[in-house]
Structure 1
Amino acid sequence: MPLEDLPDWLPTWCVNQLGDGPVGVLFEVRSISAVFGLRLAGGRDVVVKAREDDGRATSCVAAQARLAQRGFPCAQPLTPAVGVGALAVHAEEYRPGGELLQGDSPEIAVRYAEVFARLMGELVHVTVAPPLPNPRWVRWDHTDSGVWPAIGFLDERDQSVVPAYVVEVAERTRARMLAADLPCVLGHADFEAQNLRWHDSQVWAVHDWDSLAWQPEAALVGAASAVFPKTGPATLPPIESSAAFLAAYQDLRGRRFTAEEQEIAWAASLWPAAHDLRWEALHADPPVSSDAVRAQAPERLRRANA
């Protein structure tokens, strides 16, 4: 990406917040956030992230900074979240390198559970305002009418293309989770393989701290047990792999989930898949995880008592 194609506000922002303007672009990624890898005039490489300011960014960046200070493997923020028009923007250190850890076997699930348990243990020591609203793909706890959270660009599409079984899965899992009365904690709600990098057997970096959520621990762990293999399109690991993730997490945290928490974890394991299948249907994308959800939903719902 040429320098001249950067957003107009970005060079001045870098000078004001980091003391140097950009002289090179290392990379650019656009999804929910716009992420720019930049080389500054003084020689530093940094990452600048800009996303719609929905009130979450301040807490997410503050929590990430606290984790980095405690030695958790994540990029150290260099600025707080700063408002730029309708955007929330922050800069963080550039933490390149590492490899994807791919696979959805029980053995791979345990390795991811080890990182998630460490992450959740560290977040116990972090106090920030709850980063609400929660990310849309885990926002089963919304107060909007209907089963899905109100998201304009999705709601304006033809909802009849969403398969009936996907809606049923969402309704049953959401009803089970809403029936629980469990305390909320801070946790990572996008714990996908594509957001982690590894050096050999050690995790090198956990990314995407914009995706922190404020939900019951069991729901956060259950969602993570289902999305850990994801490197692109929607996916759902084998049930035995989610079970291995949940068991390893509890062993490492030194606390067994109650019967209700076990059910909430299994219910939460289906919500991201239902959200993804709805997304795929509304965008006419190939339904990659459709067969897995159809095959696994009855057993996951049974374990959720949903």
Structure 2
Amino acid sequence: MVTAVQVEAWCLRALGSGTLAEVDSEAGGQMSQLFRFDSDERGPCAVKVRPEGWERVSRCLQLQAIAADAGFPCARPMTDAARLGPGMVVSAESWRSGGEMHVDGDVRFADRSASLLADLAAILEVESPRGLGAPPPWMYWNPPTRSLWPPNPIADAMDQDRVPAHVNAIARAASKRLAATSLPLVVGHGDWESQNLRWKDASPWAVHDWDSLVALPAAAIVGAASGAFTSTAVPTLASLEASEEFIDCYERTRGKVFTSEEREIAWAASLWPALHNARGESLFQSPPTALQALTSQAPERLRRAGIR
């Protein structure tokens, strides 16, 4: 963590005179600190400090700027990434507050959410996936360590026997299927949860959490989103019907039907955010929201992924 004094000093250098206030973040990552800086010259800015690599954050900001310039509903970066203390990176973007979070995760919302993801895919499809590095842990199947789960010092130090055996078994099966594909990597949003989207009536207003951009096959990005898109403050797993509608609507919006392999990869990836959350619920002994949904739906999702 860094102090407000450090952040204010950076803001004065990067944005000119103004006033700083720390705010509670409703979206954009639990590991980040969010501030509002009211610049005398540029108006209100959102200032974000997070424990990320400078290279990855810089690439994410470049891609966010491309999306904003194309008219996609998101804040526009106002600075480059800068190092602020050991292992901490800071940047500023336009202040884009307001809008409402969709909290009723139904099939009709799948159409809106998937269409918006497809719009972003159309903007970013020509962009290189280089520079994004490893995806966030809820999208990080098959890490180079060859362990089942990506490295997490806090979680890894806990009693792994708390994690139900069937969760590990599902994770192994999904990971094996995802590792078997050679589909090309593309750029996409890797945390497509309802809590990161804001709407005004049925129109999209803001997409947050651009630090979660990933370089993965398009089908995997869509599949993970199809499982996670209904999640609000408490992560869960969308219904099978809603996930299917999400994938179908994405295809319709993009005007391209997934191949049989892409469909299988999408369904395998649909499990991974819920697997990550179910493991966390088990380790931290939280209410088993994702665990229960995963347990009931995994057999059918694995079948659709081509895993018998």
Name the TM tier (shorter chain): over 0.9
Assess if the C-alpha contact under 8 Å between 2:281 and 2:291 holds in 1.
no
CA distance in 1, matches of 2:22, 2:144: 41
1:191-206 matched pairs, under 5 angstroms: 191-206=192-207
Shift, 1:62, TM fit: 0.8
CA distance in 1, matches of 2:43, 2:144: 44
Change over 3 Å in CA distance of 1:226–1:128 after alignment to 2: closer
Q: Which SS does the other structure have where 2:21 is aligned?
A: strand
Aligned to 2:74: 74
Asked whether 1:226 is paired with 2:227, we answer: yes
Aligned to 1:130: 131
1:245-284 matched pairs, under 5 angstroms: 245-284=246-285
Cα distance per residue 1:119-166 (max 9 Å; x no partner)? 111111434633111111100131113211111121111111011111
Assess if the C-alpha contact under 8 Å between 2:33 and 2:50 holds in 1.
yes
CA distance in 2, matches of 1:66, 1:126: 9
The alignment's C-alpha RMSD in Å is 1.6
1:1-306 matched pairs, under 5 angstroms: 6-22=3-19, 24-25=20-21, 27-29=23-25, 31-41=30-40, 44-54=43-53, 55-85=55-85, 86-127=87-128, 129-306=130-307
Aligned residues: 301
Change over 3 Å in CA distance of 1:290–1:211 after alignment to 2: same
CA distance in 2, matches of 1:150, 1:235: 22
CA distance in 2, matches of 1:141, 1:125: 26
Residue type of the alignment partner of 1:31: Q
Shift, 1:51, TM fit: 1.1
Assess if the C-alpha contact under 8 Å between 1:46 and 1:92 holds in 2.
yes
Shift, 1:39, TM fit: 2.4
Assess if the C-alpha contact under 8 Å between 1:63 and 1:127 holds in 2.
no
Change over 3 Å in CA distance of 1:36–1:74 after alignment to 2: same
Cα distance per residue 1:97-124 (max 9 Å; x no partner)? 1111222222111111110100111111
Cα distance per residue 1:238-259 (max 9 Å; x no partner)? 1011000001101111111110
CA distance in 1, matches of 2:152, 2:22: 33
CA distance in 1, matches of 2:292, 2:137: 23
CA distance in 1, matches of 2:127, 2:4: 33
CA distance in 2, matches of 1:124, 1:263: 21
CA distance in 2, matches of 1:8, 1:284: 37
Q: Which SS does the other structure have where 1:229 is aligned?
A: coil
Give unpaired runs (5+ residues) of structure 1. none
Assess if the C-alpha contact under 8 Å between 2:16 and 2:40 holds in 1.
no
CA distance in 2, matches of 1:261, 1:43: 45
Residue type of the alignment partner of 1:35: L
CA distance in 2, matches of 1:214, 1:36: 28
Cα distance per residue 1:221-272 (max 9 Å; x no partner)? 0000011111012211110110000011011111111101000000000011
Cα distance per residue 1:48-101 (max 9 Å; x no partner)? 011113241011111101111111110000001111222111000001111112
Shift, 1:299, TM fit: 0.3
Q: Which SS does the other structure have where 1:115 is aligned?
A: helix
Assess if the C-alpha contact under 8 Å between 1:223 and 1:269 holds in 2.
yes
Residue type of the alignment partner of 2:108: E
Residue type of the alignment partner of 1:171: R
Shift, 1:41, TM fit: 4.6
Q: Choose 141-150 or 225-234, whichever is displaced more.
A: 141-150
Cα distance per residue 1:172-203 (max 9 Å; x no partner)? 10000001111000000000001010011100
CA distance in 2, matches of 1:263, 1:129: 25
Give the TM-score normalised by structure 1. Answer: 0.94
Shift, 1:43, TM fit: 7.5
CA distance in 1, matches of 2:130, 2:239: 35
Q: Which SS does the other structure have where 1:289 is aligned?
A: helix
Give unpaired runs (5+ residues) of structure 2. none
CA distance in 2, matches of 1:43, 1:115: 29
Assess if the C-alpha contact under 8 Å between 1:195 and 1:207 holds in 2.
yes
